[in-house]
Chains A and B, each alone.
Chain A
């Protein structure tokens, strides 16, 4: 196989659904250059929930959008089931679109206020299952609404988003994303606009639907506890790179990367007092632009000269744990 063919198609391992190969996404504005994805090579396992945790500017949303082909990487290739998603022909592209879907952050802006719940939820069927009659689509939509806990679904079909609460709207968005039996779903901060008491019901719903319908999910969030709870695998991103990956319990119980450790230590815990003067002024997000060494070197308490000159690659350190660090925490 020559190189060119390889860039378009390959036979993926059976448990792989999405694969990133040396993917870069660079945003330039004025004098600043931002690496939203900095040479990412990474695969998503079929049938699992992968959560990506990171702060704003870490590139997690860019990763999610790129995996759906919603934004073109600056360089590198992304494969869905072994096919390069930027080299698909028209019918392959339709097939790819019909198998993937996204749940957005804000259910107040992701639903068209002028469309009834039926129109919204059944839109993927209208696009991808042309043979269905209107009454069949209504039936499927009502069934899906029942599944997401808006029951009886039939009574929600003809109402409009304005009469729904935030939690109900997010359920509608979830119903729309799952009605066409997608194989891969990206959920980008799906609960950050919701109240605490609603968040847990939406997370429970996503977890049970995932088990029932057996799709692959990419769950993107800055909230580490929810990410740990919902995920089978977890990846931590910092300034465009995946710095730690593995089993969510292992990562949260014994983080190996100093950045992950900082994230976990900063997570607010009920009743654990924050003391005066604990601040360190780590405004590290300003430092993004083609870093040679480790992205966390400027803040890291364990850095050596190697960290500033050489890029640490993700390496396996135990059965279910990978870290990109020269001096992982013991």
Chain B
């Protein structure tokens, strides 16, 4: 029995470009469970950020959400995000679902003190109460002292700016936090501290976190479940532990084996994945990974993407799940 907080069904987001429509999300269905950390893992162009932006309806022209549904399961009933009117959407955003953006450096207004940026947020959402106490509370949760509220962004280090943007994202007490590559621009030491903070905050505030990243190591060190994205769809979804141990999709297996770690054999060449992702301007028949997959066979070209299917615990979009991992193991 699962209790999703977000259900995404057959979502299609398209970017209209002069060279044709790019299908960034292709009939994507996904469920986010209440209270989990779900990591969305994928390479550039796989649609992982587009999904985050689509959920908050932040897709701007030339992008457009063309079809599908996103349902937020609130305590008081379901909210269909794509059907909200603009004023309703403004009320909904940040109070229910908020987002930490990739470049903390560009999120903050450089000419306003940190406290001003919080007050702007509160005023936009008509929140009453003691602003100062509220600001201090969220700065503290994000691991910052209260002296920070009087500071300007240029006085803060990259890690501190990212903490401010985490505090801002939490300041309206959302249930769901979408974190889009929140640590990509940071150094490893600070990265680990921020990730650890996010986990702590998640437990304290009972949040659901959707963590978008290109880094499988980072994802697997904080997520309960992983969704591996490829060409605008999740090709494999499952518990982080299971997925690392026995990847079912060839793409996941190859990603795992091409990862560089501190134990990689220095005398051998790294394992690589040939080819490039498919052109999303053209319709894709069957499996999107076919052109790079060593296991590809004619049947893959007619693979049915089972439209509308909802993904529970464990899902893979492949006609020979698990075979790749078994073969890699056999070779090693």
Of all chain B residues, which has the CB nearest A285? B157
B199-216 interface code vs A (CB 8 A; 1 in, 0 out): 110110000000000111
Bound state CA distance, A280 and B199, in angstroms? 14
**B interface majority secondary structure:** helix
Chain A interface size range = 35 or more
A265-304 interface code vs B (CB 8 A; 1 in, 0 out): 0111111111111111111011000000000000000000
Q: How many residues of B contact A (CB 8 A)?
A: 50
Known A197-B272, A271-B220: A228·B262 in contact at CB below 8 Å: yes
Our pick among B194, B199, B260, B269 for the contact of A199 (Cβ within 8 Å) is B260
A132 CB–B CB distance under 8 Å: no
Query: What is the CB-to-nearest-CB distance from B249 to chain A, in angstroms, rounded to a whole number?
Result: 14
On whether the beta carbons of A281 and B193 are closer than 8 Å, the reply is yes
On whether the beta carbons of A278 and B43 are closer than 8 Å, the reply is no
B276 CB–A CB distance under 8 Å: yes
On whether the beta carbons of B214 and A270 are closer than 8 Å, the reply is no
On whether the beta carbons of B259 and A270 are closer than 8 Å, the reply is yes
On whether the beta carbons of A200 and B44 are closer than 8 Å, the reply is no
B261 — which chain A residues lie within 8 A by C-beta? 225, 269-270
B196 — which chain A residues lie within 8 A by C-beta? 274-279
Bound state CA distance, A269 and B195, in angstroms? 13
A222 — which chain B residues lie within 8 A by C-beta? 187-188
Interface stretch of the complex, out of A11-19, A39-47, A72-80, A201-209: A201-209
On whether the beta carbons of A196 and B218 are closer than 8 Å, the reply is no
B6 CB–A CB distance under 8 Å: no
Interface stretch of the complex, out of B123-131, B133-141, B164-172, B250-258: B250-258
B51-69 interface code vs A (CB 8 A; 1 in, 0 out): 0000000000000000000
Our pick among A248, A263, A273, A285 for the contact of B266 (Cβ within 8 Å) is A248
Our pick among A56, A275, A280 for the contact of B158 (Cβ within 8 Å) is A56
B271-295: which have CB < 8 Å to A?
A: 271-274, 276
B244 CB–A CB distance under 8 Å: yes
B200 — which chain A residues lie within 8 A by C-beta? 276-277, 279
Greatest chain B CB density within 10 A among A195, A197, A262, A280 is at A197
On whether the beta carbons of B187 and A200 are closer than 8 Å, the reply is no
Our pick among A197, A199, A266, A286 for the contact of B192 (Cβ within 8 Å) is A266
Our pick among A207, A273, A275 for the contact of B269 (Cβ within 8 Å) is A207
On whether the beta carbons of B192 and A278 are closer than 8 Å, the reply is yes
On whether the beta carbons of B159 and A226 are closer than 8 Å, the reply is no
Greatest chain B CB density within 10 A among A224, A228, A248, A272 is at A228
Bound state CA distance, A248 and B191, in angstroms? 23
On whether the beta carbons of A224 and B270 are closer than 8 Å, the reply is no
B273 — which chain A residues lie within 8 A by C-beta? 197, 200
On whether the beta carbons of B266 and A196 are closer than 8 Å, the reply is no
A249 — which chain B residues lie within 8 A by C-beta? 266
Query: What is the CB-to-nearest-CB distance from A47 to chain B, in angstroms, rounded to a whole number?
Result: 17
B132 CB–A CB distance under 8 Å: no
On whether the beta carbons of B269 and A278 are closer than 8 Å, the reply is no
A229 CB–B CB distance under 8 Å: yes
On whether the beta carbons of B43 and A197 are closer than 8 Å, the reply is yes
B246 CB–A CB distance under 8 Å: no
Given contacts A200-B272, A222-B187, A277-B196, 5 further A-B contacts (CB under 8 A): A208-B269, A266-B189, A271-B221, A282-B193, A283-B160
Interface residues of B (CB under 8 A from A): 43-44, 143, 157-160, 187-197, 199-200, 202-203, 214-218, 220-222, 240-241, 244, 254-256, 258-262, 264, 266, 269-274, 276
The 7 A-B pairs with the shortest beta carbon distances in the complex, nearest first, are A276-B200, A279-B193, A55-B187, A200-B270, A278-B196, A195-B43, A268-B217
Interchain Cβ contacts under 8 Å between A and B, 20 examples: A196-B215, A196-B258, A197-B273, A200-B270, A201-B270, A204-B270, A225-B262, A228-B266, A268-B188, A268-B217, A269-B217, A269-B262, A270-B244, A271-B220, A271-B241, A274-B196, A274-B222, A276-B200, A280-B193, A283-B159
Interface residues of A (CB under 8 A from B): 55-56, 165-166, 195-197, 199-201, 203-204, 207-208, 222, 224-226, 228-229, 248-249, 252, 262-264, 266-283, 285-286
